[in-house]
Amino acid sequence: PTSRYGTPADFMYFVNYMHKNKIGVILDWVPAHFPKDAHGLAEFDGTSTYEYADPRKGEHPDWGTKVFDFGKSEVKNFLIANALFWVEQYHVDGLRVDAVASILYLDYGRENGQWVPNKYGGNKNLEAVEFFKHLNTVVLGRNHGTLMIAEESTAWPKVTGKAEEDGLAFSMKWNMGWMNDFLEYMKLDPYFRQYNHHKMTFSMTYAYAEKYVLVLSHDEVVHLKCSMISKMPGQYDDKFANLKAAYSFMIGHPGKKLLFMGQEFAQFQEWSEARELDWYLLGEERHAQIKHFVKELLHLYKKTPALYDHDYDPNGFEWVNANDNERSIFSFIRHSKNGKSNLLFVINFTPVERIDYRVGVPRRKQYKLILDSNASEFGGTGKVQPEIYKAVKKECDGMKYSFGYELPAYGVAVFKF
C-alpha cells in the first residue's frame, strides 16, 4: 500500500471490494529492517531509538538498512500494533512476514567479527524469538482465521509450532527447499531427470515438519532467473507440456500454493515492476491453453477437499510409485478425510509415450479420468481416452489391484475414486 495510489480510505475501499468478490488480501509485511532515509525511523531523535545501537546488531551489511531493537518493549509494541492495525482496521486477511531468517540469526549476512553472539554464545536472536511468539499469539489470538506466513529460508525448528511448545506460532511457512529442488528438476533435459528423481520425492520426507506453502514467487522469476516457461527444457511445444506437468505436480503435492502473476499464462519475459504483464500473449493459442489448464487445476483444487483439508496430516498423501526413475513417472494419491472423494495423480516427465502403462491402486473400484493434459483444449494431441477404468486383481506398484492407461508424452492424468 502506498499513498501514490490514494488515501487510507481508498485502500479500505479496495480491500472491501476484494472481499465482496471473494478475493482475500495478504500483505507483505517487513519488520526485518528499515531504510536509513533522513525522514524515516533511523536515529529518530538523534539516537538509536528504534534500532540496536551497536552496528554489529543494528545494521544489515547486505542491504544497507537498520535492524529493529527487539529487546525494547516500545519497539515491539510499535511493530505488533502496526500488524494489528493492518488486520483490524484495514481488514487484510493475513501478513506474509518478510526475511524472517535475517531476524532470527544474529550472524545472518555477516562475516566473523561483524556480529555479536547472544548471552549463551550462540547465533540466535533470543529477543527476536520472543517477539515472534508475542506477535503471532496476539494477532492470531485476536483475529481468528487470519494468516501469519513466515518467509523463512532455513531449517529453524517449529516455525509453525505452538508458542507454548517453544514454536514461533506462525500459521504457515514458505517451503524454500521444495521450490529449489522442484525448479532444479524441471530445468533438466528430460534425459537427465532419471538421475535426479530424488529431487521430486525428497520434500515428502519433511513435508509434515511445518505447515508449508509451496512457493513459486516473484523471487523465482526476476534477476536473470527466467520466467517459469523459460526455465523449461526443449522446443516451443515441449516447454508448455513441461509446464503443465510441473503445475500438476505442484497442485497435487501437500501444502498450500503460491504462483506468481504472469506464470499462469506462461509469460516469456521475466517479471518487472516497471511494466505491466504481457497480456497480449493471451491472444496466442498456446498461452491461452496453458491459462485454461491452470484454471482447471485450480477449480479441481477448490472443489476437491482431499487436495487441501488434509495437507498437514500424513494420512492425506500416499505414494503409489515414488521410485520409477527410469521412466521419470510419479504416481501418488491424495486421500480425503471421509475416504469418498480421492484423487490419483500420474505424471510423466519425459517426452516418451507409455501406451502400456499400468498403475497400482488400493481398491477394486472404478477410477474416473477427470483431468487429461493431452486434451486438445489444453494444447495436447486430443487423442480421446476412456473416462472410466475398472481396477482388476493384478499386482502392480506393491498394490493388489491395478489398471492400464495409455500415458502420453509429458502426460498428466488425474483420476477420481
What does the pLDDT look like over 283-326, one tens digit per residue? 999 999 999 999 999 999 999 999 999 899 999 999 999 999 99
Is position 98 annotated as part of the catalytic site?
yes
- Which of the following CATH numbers is that of domain 3-170: 3.40.50.300, 3.20.20.80, 3.40.640.10, 3.40.50.2300? 3.20.20.80
> How high does pLDDT run on average in the chain?
96
* Catalytic choice (151, 181, 210, 372): 151
The residue whose grid cell reads 514454536 is 167
How would residue 73 be classed by pLDDT, with cut points 50, 70 and 90?
very high
Q: Active-site residue 377, yes or no?
A: no
Q: Which of 43, 93, 98, 238 is catalytic?
A: 98
* Span 171-180, average pLDDT: 96
Query: What element of type H or E holds 148?
Result: strand 147-150
* pLDDT bracket for residue 331 (50, 70, 90): very high
Report the distance separating Cα 332 and Cα 354, nearest Å. Answer: 18
Q: Return the beta strands (E) in 242-365 as ranges.
A: 256-259, 317-321, 329-334, 343-348, 354-361
CATH 2.60.40.1180 residue ranges of the chain are 315-416
- 125-163 burial: b if 16+ Cβ within 10 Å, else e: bebbbebbbbbbbebbeebeebbbbbbbbeebebbbbeb
CATH number of 315-416: 2.60.40.1180
- Kindly state the DSSP code that residue 264 receives in the 8-state scheme: G
pLDDT of residue 225: 86
pLDDT (0 to 100) of residue 62: 84
Confidence of residue 224 (pLDDT cuts 50, 70, 90): confident
Q: Mean per-residue pLDDT for 88-109?
A: 96
CA dihedral defined by 41, 44, 50, 54, rounded to 10 degrees? 110
Please tell me the pTM assigned to this model.
0.94
Delimit the CATH 3.20.20.80 region(s) of the chain: 3-170
